[in-house]
Amino acid sequence: MNEFESRPLVVVKGLHKSFPVKGGAFQRVVGHVQAVNGVDLEIREGEALGLVGESGCGKSTLGRALLRLDDPDEGAVEFDGRDILGLKGKELRDLRKEMQFIFQDPFSSLDPRTKIGDSIAEGLRVHGVPRDQRSKRVLESLELVGLESYHARRYPHEFSGGQRQRIGIARALAVNPRFLVLDEPVSALDVSIQSQILNLLKELQRDLKLTMLFIAHDLSVVEHLCDRIAVMYLGKVVEIADRDELFDSPTHPYTQALLSAIPVPDPTLTRERVILQGDLPSPLYPPPGCRFNTRCPIAVTGVCNMFEPTLLPVADGSEHLASCHLRTGEHQHLDRSQTRPTRT
Amino acid sequence: MTSPQSGSKPLLEVKGLQTHFFTRHGVVRAVDGVDLHVEKGEVLGLVGESGCGKSVASMSILRLVSQPGKIVAGEIRLNGENLIDKSEGEMRAIRGDQISMIFQQPVSSLNPVFTVGYQIAEVYKIHEDLKRSVGEKKAIEMLAKVGISDPERRLKAFPHELSGGMAQRVMIAMALAAGPDLLIADEPTTALDVTIQAQILELIESLRHELGMAVILITHDLGIVAEVADRVAVMYAGEIVEETDTKSLFAEPKHPYTQGLIGSIPIAGSRREWLEVIPGRVPNLIDLPAGCRFAPRCKARVANNLSICTEVKPGLEEAAEGHRVRCWLYQEDPR
């Protein structure tokens, strides 16, 4: 990767986003779900960053906040060196031309009564592309995703799931964005179709030099496409590293468990499995200390359930960061001579 | 633990099963001539993509196909008795007692207005004629067996109070309450997170050893099959296209569809540049192609320049010992 490419395009600093929970007879606010709780992240120009975690970990909220689909409560988001959280009106619209979102469900994200050509052209109209150039651009973007020009005159119900996801991608690419957020773009698709879309995305990313944030619950899907991978748990990034580094030496116990939980299509392989106990704690009442301590196989009582770890390099100067008292750098609050990691 | 008993009669034998749906657009041949057998205590993985008929096949085994669907041909023999000949009343006694089923959406499969304990106790009431109080005691045992902590308290919980993983455990407890010989699990973990999926798969695995029951595991995920199943049947467009033991299937997949399917899964840590792609899409089950149903998408057909594939339908024949394939690559041209 050259210097130009490794310049950060998107920078997230201390992002917080919570949603009020209403309850009782008068629908009063009874608490807050902390969906994203202090995330720092850099997405470099031209790279595909994978964001992985289980349902409710805040990965989609983070993706939406980056595009200002939801406004964060706290923190900063910079795009190309510019703070975007204060933008309004035309400035915001111009920005959105550069950043596009691709949704999980290709069935509900298209208007059933609009021809797909018109669906794609709508984005162009909003962004002020003159009428005579729109249809040319629609056909170009259809071609880009492997669809034919006659498809522009058809309605969404005439397409299969895989084709609809291609339409979603075409619609996002029509305005020539630099940054794409893809929220589980293949999880609604069958395996044989999924591989078509993953290959397509990889081609597009390479040819158009796109910067991508690829959100998924499945590490193996992310592996195929992404240069770097971030793992989230209950609103926080717990580990981030280059793809190969993450798969070869996962450091956070959660990443390890996540990796070992993926079923591998090879019956000759016998693996030591880390099976996590219990369910994800409610994001309404996250546990104190390290948020993973309630399910962690190596948690140390008195440390992990009391102090919150921060993201630190796993070795000096490493770009591989993890947030675990027991595994990264200095044990921040731990006097090693007194406390020894014990299995709980 | 009971191991599969070779030589003895299979627990379940399905022959030439055809289940069609009579819609106003035409006849949808969802299951079109399926042969299957499940030995005592074995896990059979039934794999295929959406719309291949794997779920309809399993619903047919339980005779739960509803209008406009109908089982039009075939035999379903459980311990030698043909379930097709049974009356609805007799079937009701068999369901839950000898064969039970768990589904993909555990929360919506439970009745929202009754407690978990009530619903499990009902199984004992129907199949073993036990009083509710006795049934609830047994329900506590069952909940503990499926790994639910504090089962006495959970007994009084309503389905909406449970997480997805917990609800699936309750479903399993309910399905296993009457000690069935066969459990049909239809995508039991698809709606769950990976770490919870690992818990549930391990639970199914340990319970089948403990109770010696057979399992038909229906899934689209070849990874799950590789980890849990003893034998695998691959379905495509209403038919079984390949069937063998799990090791051979992954070591030597024979059908071009199976090969494509295995090649198209992203595997964590495999570092492949590109994934294999099966061109085209699943055929319309109303208007099926002549000859092999996979022929229009088959790269091997083109590479070997086989003309028979688009004209005559291949049978499911043995290509190696215990390895059956529905493909002309492994069969003599009869013409």
**Residues of chain A contacting B199 with CB distance shorter than 8 Å:** 275-276
**Residues of chain B contacting A273 with CB distance shorter than 8 Å:** 198, 202
Cα–Cα dist A98/A208, whole Å: 13
**Residues of chain A contacting B106 with CB distance shorter than 8 Å:** none
Among B285, B216, B312, B267, smallest CA distance to B30 is for B285
Residue entry with tokens 């455990």: B169
The answer to whether residue A256 neighbours chain B at the CB level (below 8 Å) is no
Mean predicted confidence (pLDDT) in B18-45? 94
Asked if residue B255 has pLDDT above 80, the reply is yes
Cα–Cα dist A4/A203, whole Å: 20
Count of residues making up chain B? 335
Asked if residue B323 has pLDDT above 50, the reply is yes
**Residues of chain A contacting B277 with CB distance shorter than 8 Å:** 192, 195-196, 199
C-beta atoms of B165 and A279 within 8 A? yes
Asked if residue B1 has pLDDT above 50, the reply is no
**Residues of chain B contacting A224 with CB distance shorter than 8 Å:** 266, 272, 275
Among B123, B119, B177, smallest CA distance to B145 is for B177
**Residues of chain B contacting A218 with CB distance shorter than 8 Å:** 194, 266
Cα–Cα dist B101/B159, whole Å: 18
Given this model, what pLDDT does residue B3 score?
Answer: 44
The answer to whether residue A258 neighbours chain B at the CB level (below 8 Å) is yes
C-beta atoms of A263 and B264 within 8 A? no
Nearest residue, CB atoms, A192 vs list B194, B225, B278: B278
Q: Which bin fits B7, alpha (ψ -120 to 50), beta or left (φ > 0)?
A: left
Count of residues making up chain A? 344
C-beta atoms of B224 and A263 within 8 A? yes
Distance in Å from the first CA to the final CA of chain A:
43
DSSP strand pairing (B99-102 vs A321-322): unpaired
Residue B170 near residue B148 (C-beta atoms within 8 A): yes
Q: Quick one: tokens of A340?
A: 């020894």
Given this model, what pLDDT does residue A223 score?
Answer: 86
Given this model, what pLDDT does residue A332 score?
Answer: 47
Q: How confident is the model at residue B7 (pLDDT cuts 50, 70, 90)?
A: low
Mean predicted confidence (pLDDT) in B229-238? 96
The answer to whether residue B309 neighbours chain A at the CB level (below 8 Å) is no
Mean predicted confidence (pLDDT) in B173-199? 90
The answer to whether residue B191 neighbours chain A at the CB level (below 8 Å) is no
C-beta atoms of B267 and A264 within 8 A? yes
Residue B265: how many CB atoms within 10 A of its CB?
20
Among A89, A37, A96, smallest CA distance to A66 is for A96
C-alpha separations of A186 from A166, A254, B8, B67, B197 in Å: 11, 24, 44, 32, 19
Residue entry with tokens 């919570």: A18
Among B195, B143, B200, B69, smallest CA distance to A218 is for B195
Q: How confident is the model at residue B308 (pLDDT cuts 50, 70, 90)?
A: very high
The answer to whether residue A208 neighbours chain B at the CB level (below 8 Å) is no
The answer to whether residue A140 neighbours chain B at the CB level (below 8 Å) is no
CA distance A137 to chain B (A): 26
Cα–Cα dist B132/B138, whole Å: 10
Given this model, what pLDDT does residue B86 score?
Answer: 93
pLDDT in tens, B76-93: 999 999 999 999 999 999
Average pLDDT, chain B: 90
Given this model, what pLDDT does residue A331 score?
Answer: 52
Residue A34 near residue A16 (C-beta atoms within 8 A): yes
Q: Which bin fits B108, alpha (ψ -120 to 50), beta or left (φ > 0)?
A: alpha
> Exposed (0-12), middle (13-18) or buried (19+): which is A1, by Cβ within 10 Å?
exposed
Highest mean pLDDT among A125-134, B98-107, B137-146, B237-246: B237-246
C-beta atoms of A279 and B166 within 8 A? yes
> Exposed (0-12), middle (13-18) or buried (19+): which is B238, by Cβ within 10 Å?
buried
DSSP strand pairing (A8-23 vs B214-219): unpaired
> Exposed (0-12), middle (13-18) or buried (19+): which is A285, by Cβ within 10 Å?
exposed
The answer to whether residue B269 neighbours chain A at the CB level (below 8 Å) is yes
Asked if residue B230 has pLDDT above 50, the reply is yes
Which residues 110-169 of chain B have a CB within 8 Å of chain A?
163, 165-166
Q: Quick one: tokens of A120?
A: 């794609």
Given this model, what pLDDT does residue A335 score?
Answer: 45
Among B245, B198, B203, B241, smallest CA distance to B223 is for B198
In one letter, which amino acid is B62?
Answer: L
Checking ipTM against 0.90, whether it exceeds it is no
Residue A104: how many CB atoms within 10 A of its CB?
20
**Residues of chain B contacting A23 with CB distance shorter than 8 Å:** none
CA distance A242 to chain B (A): 12
Share of chain B above pLDDT 90, in %: 66
Q: pLDDT tens digits, chain A, 344 residues: what are they? A: 444 457 899 999 999 999 988 877 788 888 888 899 999 999 999 999 999 998 888 999 999 999 998 899 999 999 999 999 988 888 888 888 899 999 887 778 889 999 999 999 998 998 888 988 999 999 999 999 989 889 999 999 888 888 899 999 999 999 999 999 999 998 888 888 888 899 999 999 999 999 999 999 888 888 888 999 999 999 999 999 999 999 999 999 999 999 888 888 888 877 777 788 888 888 888 899 999 999 999 988 888 988 899 999 988 888 999 999 988 855 544 444 444 444 44
Given this model, what pLDDT does residue A269 score?
Answer: 77
**Residues of chain B contacting A262 with CB distance shorter than 8 Å:** 194, 223, 268
Query: Edge-to-edge, what's the strand order for the sheet holding B99-102?
Result: B99-102, B182-186, B214-219, B43-47, B231-236, B239-245, B323-325, B317-320
What are the CB-based long-range contacts (under 8 Å, 24+) for B60-66? Answer: B60/B17, B60/B19, B60/B31, B61/B12, B61/B14, B61/B99, B61/B184, B61/B216, B62/B91, B62/B95, B62/B99, B62/B101, B62/B184, B63/B91, B64/B95, B65/B19
Cα–Cα dist A232/A51, whole Å: 7
